[in-house]
């Protein structure tokens, strides 16, 4: 049953990826999008903390090497930075096209080595599943940050943020705001991005999703204070077309820590 569910999920994403490709067929759009990465963000919702390590082990030892063989990576593996009785494992995959990411689960399941090495995870029984459910989002990197930036492998925390908008037009205006100035202000004030992506397929659309990295929570707090006090940010947010009340309807965030073997 789990294999069929995973195949169905991949097939749906593959169909959506095909639609994305069709709507971006003109030459101007192809030129503009050239070099921009695509991301697949997966959230595995778990029944108990003991389920974190089996998924992390599967990605670290089985899936990540197989994904590299088909041109997908880096592979980020995370969980919440603070303990919770019902944790999640977040997996971030980078690829050169939506098709590569949308079909990666099917390709993994057809790989004999994955079937052998990942048998304990892939063959989980219905009365003891590996996870409760998985939510996925397919994202297109921003023009202002077309490639994911891998942070240094040192103690670090991540902040994953999602900005929802009330309409497609409002959502695109927030993307424009980031591309034109806000990303640069982030960098200058100590907010270090890992990626920015516009959600093309996934829940809570329209939205954009991005990830920041910090040494620790005090560094997080200092950087956000510096950003909030920055003169260029104050000027930018005062422009009526960029006012939060006009283009952002909800902001949510989660703090994450990398699990062993994470490439991000």
Q: Does 31 share its domain with 137?
A: yes
Q: Does 112 share its domain with 170?
A: no
3-state DSSP call for residue 205?
A: coil
pLDDT at 18: 52
DSSP, res 260: T
CATH number, domain containing residue 87: 3.30.70.100
Q: Kindly tell me if the per-residue pLDDT of 5 is higher than 50.
A: no
For residues 64 and 57, the answer to whether their CB atoms sit within 8 Å is no
Q: Kindly tell me if the per-residue pLDDT of 22 is higher than 60.
A: no
3-state DSSP call for residue 124?
A: coil
In a domain, 263, yes or no: no
Q: Does 85 share its domain with 161?
A: no
Q: Does 13 share its domain with 135?
A: yes
Percent of the chain with pLDDT over 90: 86
Residue 88 neighbours by CB under 8 Å, 6+ apart: 43, 44, 45, 46, 79, 80
- Under the banding of pLDDT at 50, 70 and 90, the label for residue 253 is very high
How does pLDDT run across 153-200, given as a tens digit for each residue? 899 999 999 999 999 999 999 999 999 999 999 999 999 999 999 999
In a domain, 152, yes or no: no
Q: Kindly tell me if the per-residue pLDDT of 108 is higher than 50.
A: yes
Q: Kindly tell me if the per-residue pLDDT of 259 is higher than 50.
A: yes
Q: Kindly tell me if the per-residue pLDDT of 3 is higher than 90.
A: no
Q: Kindly tell me if the per-residue pLDDT of 208 is higher than 80.
A: yes
Q: Does 232 share its domain with 198?
A: yes
Q: Does 68 share its domain with 117?
A: yes
Q: Does 66 share its domain with 32?
A: yes
Residue found under tokens 């009330």: 166
Q: Does 33 share its domain with 124?
A: yes
DSSP, res 151: P
DSSP, res 110: T
pLDDT at 153: 87
Structure tokens at 85: 């009785």
Taking residues 103-122, what's their average pLDDT? 96
Q: Does 192 share its domain with 64?
A: no
In a domain, 187, yes or no: yes
Instruction: Provide the residue range defining the domain that includes 19.
Output: 2-141
- Under the banding of pLDDT at 50, 70 and 90, the label for residue 34 is low
Taking residues 80-106, what's their average pLDDT? 96
Total domains, the chain: 2
């Amino acid at each position: 049953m789990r294999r069929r569910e995973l195949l169905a999920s991949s097939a749906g994403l593959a169909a959506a990826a095909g639609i994305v490709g069709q709507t971006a067929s003109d030459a101007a759009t192809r030129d503009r999008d050239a070099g921009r990465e695509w991301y697949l963000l997966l959230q595995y919702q778990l029944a108990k903390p003991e389920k974190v390590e089996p998924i992390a082990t599967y990605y670290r030892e089985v899936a990540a090497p197989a994904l590299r063989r088909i041109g997908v990576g880096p592979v980020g593996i995370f969980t919440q930075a603070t303990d919770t009785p019902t944790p999640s494992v977040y997996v971030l995959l980078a690829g050169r096209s939506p098709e590569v990411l949308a079909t990666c689960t099917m390709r993994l399941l057809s790989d004999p080595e994955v079937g052998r090495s990942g048998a304990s995870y892939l063959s989980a029984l219905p009365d003891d599943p590996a996870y409760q459910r998985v939510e996925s989002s397919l994202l297109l990197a921003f023009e202002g940050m077309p490639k994911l930036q891998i942070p240094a492998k040192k103690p670090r925390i991540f902040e994953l943020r999602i900005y929802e908008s009330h309409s497609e037009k409002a959502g695109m205006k927030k993307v424009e705001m980031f591309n034109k100035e806000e990303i640069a202000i982030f960098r200058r004030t100590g907010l270090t991005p890992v990626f920015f992506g516009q959600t093309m397929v996934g829940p809570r659309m329209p939205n954009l999703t991005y990830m920041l990295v910090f040494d620790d929570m005090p560094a997080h707090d200092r950087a956000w204070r510096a950003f909030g006090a920055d003169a260029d940010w104050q000027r930018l947010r005062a422009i009526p077309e960029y006012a939060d009340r006009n283009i952002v309807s909800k902001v949510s965030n989660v703090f994450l820590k990398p699990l062993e073997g994470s490439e991000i």
